[in-house]
A and B are shown apart, each in its own frame.
Chain A
Amino acid sequence: MTVPSSHLLILAAILFSIGVAGFFLRRNVIVVLMCIELMLNAANLSFLAASRMHSLDTPGGRIDLQGPIFAIFVIVVAAVEAAVGLALVIALYRRKQTVSLDDVVDLKD
C-alpha cells in the first residue's frame, strides 16, 4: 500500500500553515527563523510530492526531475537564509542584548 501523493500535498500545506502562523505569532527571532525554514521545507515537500505524482502517472517510467532539482535550489536558498539570518541575530544581540521582536521597536514614527 502506498501513500497517495495528494496526502503529501496536504501535509505540505499544513506545514506551510504552521510556518505562517508561527511567523506571525512568535516573538523570538530564532523561532521566527525556524518558522521560515518550515515554510521553505513545506515548499520542498510539495515540489517532491508533485514530481512523484507526475512520475507515477507516466506509464513509461519516465521520472519527472523538475521537482527534485527545484528542491535542491530551495535547500541552497534555505541554507543561505539561515546563515545570513543567524548572523543578523548575532549582530542584533551584540548591540541590544535581546532576541525578542517585542524589544526591536526603535524604528517608528
Chain B
Amino acid sequence: MSAWLHLFTLELAVVAIALLVLLWDAFAPAAGRAVGWTTALLLGGVFAASFFVDGRGTVPHGVFVRDEWVVFHERLFLAAGILGVLGSIDWLATRTPKRQAEYYALLLFSLAGMMLLAGARDWILLVTCFELMSMPLYVLCAYGKQDGPASEPKLAAEAGLKLFITGAASSGLTLFGLALVVGMTGTTHVGGIGANPAPLTIVGMLFVLAGFGFKVGAVPFHMWVPDTYQGAPTPFVAFLSVAPKAAGLATLAIVLLGGWSADSSVWLPVLLVLAGASMVVGNLFALPQTDARRLLGFSGVAQIGYALLALGAMSRGGLAMTLFFVATYVFTNLGVFFVLHAAAEEGGGHSLARIAGLSRRSPWLGGALLVFLLSLAGIPFVAGFWAKLFVFMEAWNAGLVGLVVLGVALAVIGLYYYLTVARSTYMADGDRTTPVPTGFALRAAILVCLIFVVGLGLWPRPLVEAADRAAAGIVSGR
C-alpha cells in the first residue's frame, strides 16, 4: 500500500457511507427514516473520528497537503453535512419516501468533493474536486417534491437549471482561464504562478477568479442565488447556502493567498470591488423582498461580501477571521432555513406573511428564529456579532478603512430587514393558532444550530484559535 493513503481516511469514509446507502437502497429498500438516521449517525462517527485520526502530511509532488487548514475545513463541512442530512430526514420521509437514498448519496459525494478541495494544491485536483462538489448540487437542486403543491416541482426544475447553467458556464470560464495559466507557466501547481507573471497568465487568472466568483455568489455573479434559493427544496437550500460557499471561499484563499500572493496588486482591487459590490447589492436588494428565501438569498450575497472583505486584508488574522465568519454563518444560516422550512411545511409557502405570529404558536421555533436573525444581523452577544466585529477589525487594521465604514453602514440596513422578519414573528397576528408541527430530526438540527450560535456567542475563543491555526496553513507569519 502507498504511504499516503491514510491522509484520505475521512474522505474515503464519506464515500464509503455514500456507497453503503446506495447499495442498501438497491438490495433492501427502506421507506422510513432509517436511511437518513443511519447516514447522519455514520457521518457523526466520521466527525468524531476527525479528532482521533492524525493524518497530517503531503502527497508526493505536493498535489495534496493535509494540515490544520484541511482539518478545520473537513470538520466544518462534516458539521454542515450532518445538519443538512438531519434537516432533510423528515421532509424526505414524508414527501419522497421511495427516493431517499439518492438524495443522501448525492449529498455525501458533494461533501467528499468539498473535503478534498481544501487540501488540493494542484490545478487538476482542485478543478476535479470543485466539479465533484458542484455536480451533485445541480441534481439535488431539482429534486422535486412529487406530491407538494403543483408549482413546486416546476420551480425546483427551474432553480436547478439556473444553478446548472451559471455553474457550468463558470466552469468553462475557469477551465479556459486555467488553460492560459497552465499553458504560460508550464506547471499545474497552484503556487507556480510566481512573481511578475506574463500578461496572458494574468488574464487567465482573472478568468479563474470570475469563475470562482460565480460559485460563491459574489456580485456581479450573483444572479442565480435568489432564484435558486427560492425554487429549490428548502432543506437542501440550507445546505447549499453554506457548505459550497465555505468551499468556494477556501478555494479563493488557496488560489489567491496561497498561490498568487506574490502579485496581490493585480487581484486585490478586483477582490475588494467584488466585496464592496456584494455588500451593497446584497443588503439593498434584500430590503424589498417578500419571500423569505429570496430575502435570505440576497442576505447571503451580502454576507459573502463581508467574508471577502476579511480575505482582502491579506493577513493570517484576516484569513482566520474569514474562517470564523464562515463557520458562524454555517450554523446561523442552516438554522434560519430549517425554521423557515418547519413553518412552510405546514403549507402556504415561504412568504414573510407566512411566519407572522410564529412565536405565539411555537415559542421555541420563534425564539430560535430570533436568535439566528440576530446573529445574521450581528447583535451582541450571539455568534454573528463576533464574526462581523472581527472581520471589520481585521479589515481596518489592513487599511481598508473606506470599505469598513461602508460595511458598517450597510450592516445597519441589514439590521432593519432582519429585524423586520423577527418583528413579524413576534408582533403580527397570524391566521393560525395551533403549534407548528415539526419532526424530531428537524427539531434536533435546529437545536444543534442554536447551541452553536449561542455557545459561540458566549465563548468564541476556541473557534477563533482553531481558525487561526488553520489560517497558518495558507498564510505564514502574522
Closest to A32 in B: B165
Interface residues of A in 8-66 (CB under 8 A from B): 9, 12, 16, 19, 23, 29, 32-33, 36, 39-40, 42-44, 46-47, 49-51, 53-54, 64, 66
Decide yes or no: A66 and B158 within 8 Å by CB, A85-B168, A106-B151 being known contacts.
no
Over the window 427-440 of chain B, the binary record of Cβ atoms lying under 8 Å from chain A Cβ atoms (1 yes, 0 no) is 00000000000000
8 new A-B contacts, CB < 8 A, other than A50-B183, A77-B131, A89-B161, are A42-B176, A44-B179, A46-B179, A51-B183, A66-B182, A66-B187, A77-B171, A107-B155
A104 interface neighbour in B162, B172, B184, Cβ under 8 Å: B162
Interface membership of B15, Cβ < 8 A: no
B164 touches A84 (CB 8 A): yes
Interface residues of B in 130-156 (CB under 8 A from A): 131, 135, 138-139, 142, 144, 151, 153-155
A47 touches B172 (CB 8 A): no
Query: Closest CB-CB distance, A109 to chain B, in whole Å?
Result: 7
Query: Closest CB-CB distance, A18 to chain B, in whole Å?
Result: 12
Contacts of A85 in B (CB 8 A): 138, 164-165, 168
Contacts of A76 in B (CB 8 A): 128
Q: How far is the CA of A106 from the CA of B155 in the complex (A)?
A: 7
Interface residues of A in 48-105 (CB under 8 A from B): 49-51, 53-54, 64, 66-67, 69-70, 73-74, 76-77, 80-81, 84-85, 87-89, 91-92, 95-96, 104
A64 interface neighbour in B127, B158, B186, Cβ under 8 Å: B186
B154 touches A96 (CB 8 A): yes
A66 touches B186 (CB 8 A): yes
Contacts of A42 in B (CB 8 A): 176, 179
B127 touches A95 (CB 8 A): no
Closest to B204 in A: A46
Contacts of A29 in B (CB 8 A): 161, 165
Some 19 contacts from A to B, beta carbons below 8 A apart, are A32-B165, A42-B176, A43-B178, A49-B183, A51-B183, A54-B186, A64-B186, A66-B187, A70-B123, A77-B128, A80-B131, A84-B164, A88-B161, A89-B161, A91-B157, A92-B157, A96-B157, A104-B158, A107-B158
Q: How far is the CA of A40 from the CA of B179 in the complex (A)?
A: 10
Contacts of B154 in A (CB 8 A): 95-96, 106
Q: What is the number of residues of chain B that contact chain A, defined by CB distance less than 8 Å?
A: 45
Over the window 154-198 of chain B, the binary record of Cβ atoms lying under 8 Å from chain A Cβ atoms (1 yes, 0 no) is 110111111011001101110110111011101110000000000
Contacts of B230 in A (CB 8 A): 107
A81 touches B124 (CB 8 A): no
B124 touches A70 (CB 8 A): yes
Closest to A94 in B: B157
Query: Closest CB-CB distance, A20 to chain B, in whole Å?
Result: 8
A39 touches B183 (CB 8 A): no
Q: How far is the CA of A77 from the CA of B131 in the complex (A)?
A: 7
B289 touches A47 (CB 8 A): no
A39 interface neighbour in B142, B173, B180, B226, Cβ under 8 Å: B173
Q: How far is the CA of A9 from the CA of B184 in the complex (A)?
A: 11
B171 touches A40 (CB 8 A): yes
B176 touches A95 (CB 8 A): no
Query: Closest CB-CB distance, A33 to chain B, in whole Å?
Result: 8
Decide yes or no: A107 and B175 within 8 Å by CB, A67-B183, A77-B127 being known contacts.
no
Interface size class of A (residues with CB under 8 A): 35 or more
Interface centre among A64, A81, A96 (most CB of B within 10 A): A81
Closest to B125 in A: A73
Query: Closest CB-CB distance, A34 to chain B, in whole Å?
Result: 11
A-B contact count, CB below 8 Å? Answer: 129
Query: Closest CB-CB distance, B201 to chain A, in whole Å?
Result: 11
Residues of A near any B CB (own CB < 8 A): 9, 12, 16, 19, 23, 29, 32-33, 36, 39-40, 42-44, 46-47, 49-51, 53-54, 64, 66-67, 69-70, 73-74, 76-77, 80-81, 84-85, 87-89, 91-92, 95-96, 104, 106-109
B182 touches A50 (CB 8 A): yes
Interface membership of B66, Cβ < 8 A: no
Interface membership of B288, Cβ < 8 A: yes
Decide yes or no: A16 and B176 within 8 Å by CB, A88-B138, A91-B144 being known contacts.
yes
Interface centre among B138, B164, B294 (most CB of A within 10 A): B164
Q: How far is the CA of A51 from the CA of B171 in the complex (A)?
A: 21
A88 touches B186 (CB 8 A): no
Q: How far is the CA of A81 from the CA of B43 in the complex (A)?
A: 28
Closest to A47 in B: B179
Interface membership of B231, Cβ < 8 A: yes
Contacts of A104 in B (CB 8 A): 158, 161-162
Interface membership of B394, Cβ < 8 A: no
B184 interface neighbour in A23, A50, A69, Cβ under 8 Å: A50
Contacts of A81 in B (CB 8 A): 135, 168, 171
Over the window 413-439 of chain B, the binary record of Cβ atoms lying under 8 Å from chain A Cβ atoms (1 yes, 0 no) is 000000000000000000000000000
A50 touches B179 (CB 8 A): yes
Interface centre among B131, B183, B184, B226 (most CB of A within 10 A): B183
Contacts of B468 in A (CB 8 A): none
A73 touches B127 (CB 8 A): yes
B161 touches A92 (CB 8 A): yes
Q: How far is the CA of A46 from the CA of B207 in the complex (A)?
A: 14
B231 touches A107 (CB 8 A): yes
A107 touches B159 (CB 8 A): yes
Decide yes or no: A107 and B172 within 8 Å by CB, A53-B183, A73-B128 being known contacts.
no
